A and B are shown apart, each in its own frame.
Chain A
Amino acid sequence: MTTDTTATKAKEETVEELSSAIGSYELMVIINPELREADLKKETDAIEKWVEKNKGKISVSDLWGKRNLAYRIKQHLEGYYAVFNFALPTDRAPAMNKMLRLEKGIIRYLLLTLPKDYVYVSYKEIKKEIGKAEPEKKVAEVVIEKKIKTAVETRHVASEPKPKEEPKKETAAEEKKKEEKSAEPVDKDLDAKLDKILGGNLDF
């Protein structure tokens, strides 16, 4: 009898172990972009709480923020992206699928099992790498931009001679005025001299 009881106990234990076999999962979620920030937090918190309720452990929760979608999903062109990595009992995964399907704020989700030697790289680091990778391309782009700029400038010079001539005319007019202004006192002096001379002549 004792052996039987031990056997049954062992069986129960094995069943429990099987039921509590833990798998590592990754969840990517696109949340409705029209939600407010508070509601967005509610959505993400709801997911985290659900996992913790079901004897899971969250290792990563990364909010990517608002991103443009490559195509329309439920008539949305944008979406809040969020990624979670967590350990969860394997028999709870289908329930999680159902929960995510019924959640209203979630536009689309992807629940995956992770490979064993997986290291999560955060979105910020990926962005940084993209930023590092871009300048190499930009050097060539900058050169092209410079060429285009110089070309455009030369074109402007070629195509717009009129506006540059106008200020010249103005300057010419101003110079004439100045000459007139400067010439007036000279004339007065000349008049005076002439008068003197003429007067002198008349005196003769």
Chain B
Amino acid sequence: MKRTIFSTAQKHVPGKRRCTFCTNQMKHVDYKDMSAIRPFVDFMKRIKSSYYTGVCLNHQKELSRAIKRARFMATLPYVQ
């Protein structure tokens, strides 16, 4: 498996916003893959909004689901 790089430093510039999951051609976000989830979580472990991360709506929904599953299985805390 290739190592994918997830960047959240997407500038909010119209036309330049790109979803990292779309660019990596990932259909689904896995709740076990912490390297994929971690950049999209706040310091206080809240879900970052797609306004700042540039994730598309479909993937944002997948991401939030994955994060909530990871929280349930105690691989990610609810709050810090």
Which chain A residues have a beta carbon within 8 Å of chain B's beta carbons? 28, 30, 67, 69-71, 73, 79, 83, 108, 110, 112, 115, 117-118, 121, 123, 125-126, 129-130, 132-133
Contacts and interface: CB of A to CB of B under 8 A. Distances in A.
Given A110-B69, A118-B28, A126-B33, A70 B75 contact: yes
A172 to B, nearest CB: 58
B72 interface: yes
Contact of B74 (A71, A115, A117): A71
Interface string B10-27: 000000000000000001
B74 A129 contact: no
A173 to B, nearest CB: 59
A158 B1 CA distance: 52
B74 A73 contact: yes
A133 B39 CA distance: 13
A178 to B, nearest CB: 65
Given A110-B69, A133-B3, A115 B27 contact: yes
B31 to A, nearest CB: 8
Contacts of B76: 70
A129 B3 contact: yes
B46 interface: no
Contact of B77 (A71, A108, A110, A117): A71
Nearest to B3: A129
Contacts of A73: 74
B61 interface: no
